[in-house]
Copies of this chain bind each other. A is one copy, B any other.
Amino acid sequence: MKKVKRTTIYDIADKLGITASSVSRALNNSSQVNEKTKELIIKTADELNYKRNILASNLRKGQSKTIGVVVPRINQNFFSNVIAGIEETTYQKGYNLIICQSGEDHDKEIQCVNTLINQHVDCIVISVSADSYDYQHLQNVIDHGIQLIQFDRVAEELETLKVINDNVQASFEAVSHLIEGGYKRIALLEGPQNLNIFKQRKEGYLKAFKMYNVPVIDELIVENAWTKELGAEGTRKLLSLPNPPDAIFASTSDFSALGVLDVANAMGIKVPSELGICGYANESFSEITSPSITTIDQFSVYMGNTIANLFFQEIGNTDTTAKPKIISIKPELIIRGSTKRNK
């Protein structure tokens, strides 16, 4: 690739016999420049195929018009949807997105965050990885004066802007739905409890039991069952109990629920009549399994939009004493075949 000399504002100024100041002003559509010359400058810029050097502009202005995003995995439905949502609304405002994946690894997450601080991004949007145990790197973001927005998986103790799902309420509704459907022994597949979202989903599960005055059975709660494989493994254990469950709430994800369904199918257990199944996240496949899986929709693209809008709102905000905002999005229970039994 040969090196190309790019057109600068000086080239334009030289050609027109004026100074770079005027060119800069014209190109920024400043009002304090003659309309005629402005037109001429813009025309000439176009002819010379001029593109502003944003690096220089941002360096001078002390901003980057860039937002950094850190997620565990880009290619996971929920996250790619949130990113799509963020991109959708930031793009219109001339902001760019730098995307990093932490790969559910604490050290890589720290690395990602540092990279973004180096890049002088204006804002960092993050959903923390599953094995994050310490949030010094996030505090570091704040100390650098960079806006920090946490979403979905958040470190609650940090006072930052947050966009979250009401996981307690969603789980509560899901389990209530199961109880009302006549299921008596409802098991829970739970995720790593250091992640707030999984803790909250368990809370919602317990809340429903309390509400309906149903006793909680400890042996029906399976830890760390948050992949398809682990979900399947947990299910096998549950179904081999002397007193097996008649419903399973895979609170971690639809992937986990899919593991449940696979095992049930393999063991010849009928869903939903003998076993009810509820997942989480409304992955595209949950609609097309047989039976289709009851799940919870998190409005992920909308969540992305919300995050972006929150950022733009905060830029304008000069009141530094205000408490950081927390926006909670109410997810929606989607009832499908896996829990619809004819009583």
Which A residues have a C-beta under 8 Å from some C-beta of B? 1-4, 6, 49, 51-56, 58-59, 64, 66, 73-77, 80-81, 83-84, 87-88, 91, 94, 96-101, 112, 114-115, 117-120, 140, 143-145, 147, 258, 283-285, 288-290, 301, 314, 317, 320
Contacts and interface: CB of A to CB of B under 8 A. Distances in A.
Contacts of A112: 91
B75 A64 contact: no
Given A84-B75, A119-B54, A49 B100 contact: no
Instruction: Give the secondary structure class of A's interface.
Output: mixed
9 contacts: A1-B145, A6-B145, A49-B143, A54-B119, A55-B55, A55-B119, A56-B59, A59-B59, A80-B80
A309 to B, nearest CB: 16
Given A51-B118, A258-B288, 19 more contacts: A1-B317, A4-B143, A4-B144, A6-B144, A49-B144, A51-B144, A53-B120, A54-B118, A55-B59, A55-B120, A73-B84, A74-B80, A74-B83, A74-B84, A87-B100, A91-B101, A96-B100, A97-B99, A283-B284
A87 B59 contact: no
A1 B58 contact: no
From A1, A2, A301, residue with most partner B Cβ within 10 Å: A1
Contacts of A96: 98, 100, 115, 119
Contacts of A4: 143-145
Contacts of A73: 84
A1 B314 contact: yes
